[in-house]
Amino acid sequence: MRAFLVERYGNKAGLRAGEAPDPQVGADDVLIQIYAASVNPLDLKTLDGEFKAILPYRVPFVLGNDLAGVVVEVGAAVTRFAVGDEVYARPDKDRIGTFAELIAVHQDDVATKPAMLTMEEAASLPLVALTAWQVLVERAHIQPGQKVLIHGGSGGLGTIAIQLAKQLGAHVATTASTANVELVKRLGADIVVDYKKQAFETVLHDYDVVLDSIGGETLKKSLDVLKPGGNLISVAGPPDAAVARELGANPVIRLVMSALSFRIRRRARRRQVTYSFLFMKASGDQLRELTRLIDAGKIHPVVDTVFPFESTREALEYAENGRAKAGKVVVKIA
């Protein structure tokens, strides 16, 4: 099959188009012909080698973390799907590889594609939609009336997290550039802080939850907007020992992760709030919950640009350089 393979870590020069063996289909797997995949910051971080300590993929490997496509074969124990089903998924962290023509995915990680979406729209959703669900529903347990700040509201994660938070009954604030203020308002944001004109930490106060996808100084300043007992949950800040345990890292790596996040956790404790890092997990069950909201018109994907399969490297560069105006960058494969 055709695929984009990582031959060496470090930069996009290590990514090339080539031939890879067709996937082996286990008893609980569905073999999916991939119609579209999307670009995520996780792809760029994986390519750069940032997660080698906890995600030690052996080169060469196929890059890519979410997809939409059609089932072309099912394993002997598969009960949920049949050949011809249109599906979407975020494969398990140990079975990535969506920038390819085919992939084998455990049936528990797959869901039927939302009926009203194109393949490209569906492919834009799994990783970011699952991340939003796991932050807001699974970890933060958002309740109606709570105040949530979502950074980067016009990004792939932000556009979905705003819509999900509103469905949960939250009061939602977000940060965005001047060009995207109206977009995030249409998605449901109650308060929009134009980060080119205002410092969010001087405007927002007494929030229950902050979802951070930016890291750095934004992460630190986010502590200032939380009320006592609040939660700062990051997908871009330093990992902590808890996530290292979840990923099965050895004790040395756990110690390193704990050290990396020590300062932000200490600052959080001083402010009587909590900090945690989230590395999202594959889940077909959660995708099915999200599909109900999508099919009901409650959550809409935002797609910035669709690249042809041959231009996968250019799609990664486009996303990395911040050229996307809003939402996700998608690669059309079939």
Q: Tens digit of pLDDT per residue, the chain (334 long)? A: 999 999 999 877 889 999 999 999 999 999 999 999 999 999 999 999 988 878 889 999 999 999 999 999 999 999 999 999 999 999 999 999 999 999 999 999 999 999 999 999 999 999 999 999 999 999 999 999 999 999 999 999 999 999 999 999 999 999 999 999 999 999 999 999 999 999 999 999 999 999 999 999 999 999 999 999 999 999 999 988 788 788 777 888 888 888 889 999 999 999 999 999 999 999 999 999 999 999 999 999 999 999 999 999 999 999 999 888 899 999 999 8
Give the C-alpha distances (Å, rounded to integers) separating 290 from 44, 105, 127, 275: 25, 19, 12, 26
Place of tokens 């994986």: 46
Domain 127-277 class?
A: alpha beta
Q: Which residues contact 211 (CB under 8 A, 6 or more apart)?
A: 132, 135, 136, 148, 149, 150, 151, 157, 161, 233, 234, 235
- Spell out the residues 6+ positions from residue 112 whose beta carbon is closer than 8 angstroms to its own: 81, 85, 86, 87, 288, 291
Residues 6+ apart with CB under 8 A from 126: 66, 67, 88, 89, 90, 287
CATH class of 2-124+301-332: alpha beta
In the three-class reduction of DSSP (H, G, I as helix; E, B as strand; rest coil), residue 241 is classed as helix
Q: How many distinct helices (H) and strands (E) make up the chain? A: 12, 16
Any idea where the domains of the chain sit in the sequence?
Answer: 2-124+301-332, 127-277
E strands, the chain, are 2-6, 15-19, 29-39, 61-62, 67-74, 86-89, 102-106, 110-112, 147-150, 171-176, 191-194, 207-212, 226-234, 274-277, 303-308, 328-332
Q: Is the peptide bond before 238 cis (omega within 30 degrees of 0)?
A: no
DSSP class of residue 296 equals: T
